[in-house]
């Protein structure tokens, strides 16, 4: 199967974040295009953000590269060192292991869409510099913890 019928791919809304951290991403909708195409080495998602929504909590990955490409609308890329306007045709890359907390925020009055591509590491630690939150994937499984390692 080479062509993916994007319109037929199920759209997911919200987040797997623990309850105290979900509100920021209310209004985030995504389609796992890589999964729909059977990809296993990296993920590809088509993401739509409603006005006021963010792509995620601000984060960075120890083991996974991440790449975004703007398709429609306008978003603000918020990073550790400041903010950058993102419009269609703009791209951003976040190499694994670089402690640059980032996310995209829709501060306009219309939806915006982008593609996000990321590697799929079997072991990962994702840091959320603004919160007492970590995402861990290891031999035990996937889970959210606080920085001291206690599960949410």
Q: What does the pLDDT look like over 21-54, one tens digit per residue?
A: 999 999 999 999 999 999 999 999 999 999 999 9
Look at the pTM and tell me if it is higher than 0.85: yes
Give the containing element (helix H, strand E) for 22: none
**Which CA distances in Å does 68 have to 22, 28, 90, 128?**
21, 15, 8, 18
Mean predicted confidence (pLDDT) in 98-117: 98
Q: What pLDDT, on the 0 to 100 scale, is given for residue 117?
A: 98
Whole-angstrom distance, CA of residue 91 vs CA of residue 114? 9
Whole-angstrom distance, CA of residue 105 vs CA of residue 110? 12
Which CATH architecture group holds 6-145? Sandwich (2.60)
């Amino acid at each position: 199967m080479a062509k993916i019928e994007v319109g037929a791919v199920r759209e997911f809304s919200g987040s797997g974040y623990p309850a105290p951290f979900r509100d920021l991403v209310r209004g985030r909708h995504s389609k796992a295009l890589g999964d729909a195409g059977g990809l296993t080495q990296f993920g590809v998602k088509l993401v739509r953000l409603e006005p006021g929504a963010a792509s995620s909590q601000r984060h960075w990955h120890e083991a996974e590269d991440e790449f975004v490409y703007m398709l429609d609308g306008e978003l603000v890329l918020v990073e550790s060192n400041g903010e950058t306007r993102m419009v269609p045709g703009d791209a951003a890359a976040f190499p694994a292991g670089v402690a640059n907390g980032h996310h995209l925020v829709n501060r306009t009055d219309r939806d915006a869409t982008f593609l996000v591509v990321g590697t799929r590491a079997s072991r990962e630690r994702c840091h959320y510099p603004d919160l007492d939150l970590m995402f861990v994937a290891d031999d035990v499984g996937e889970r959210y913890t606080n920085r001291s390692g206690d599960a949410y």
